[in-house]
Amino acid sequence: MVIQLQPYDMMVQYVTGKDLSVADKLSRLQPSRFDEECSLEIEFHVLSVMKSIPVSDKKMGLILEENKRDPVMIELTLVIQKRTDKPPTPVFC
């Protein structure tokens, strides 16, 4: 989402939790079974795509190792992990 919003100029304004009762309640929800199933489905899809790429296991290993060293891929991975760990709650004016 952060990458999708980069082309736009926006102003973010802090609003206290007591003024955002719905967002406050949603942020306190425990992960549901649906979230776990969705996560497994995504993981399965990623593995399926990786298996469908016509490269040998050795070449795929080299690709994965190079991705771990590539600064752009490292930054992208951090952005994605940060987004999935704790989703931001932006307020648009």
pLDDT digits (tens, 9 = 90+) for 4-45: 777 888 888 887 777 776 766 666 766 666 667 777 888 888
**Helical pair 71-85 and 57-69, crossing angle rounded to 10 deg:** 80
Amino acid residing at 12: V
- Domain borders along the chain are 13-52, 55-87
For residues 80-93, give the mean pLDDT: 62
Question: What is the arithmetic mean of pLDDT over 43-71?
Answer: 88
Place 90 in a pLDDT band, splitting at 50, 70 and 90: low
Give the sign of the dihedral formed by CA 3, CA 9, CA 13, CA 18. Answer: negative
pLDDT of 49 higher than 70? yes
Rounded CA-CA distance 89/13 in Å is 11
- Rounded to two decimals, what is the model's pTM? 0.39
| 63 pLDDT higher than 70 | yes
Largest CA distance in the chain: 55
CB 23 within 8 A of CB 92: no
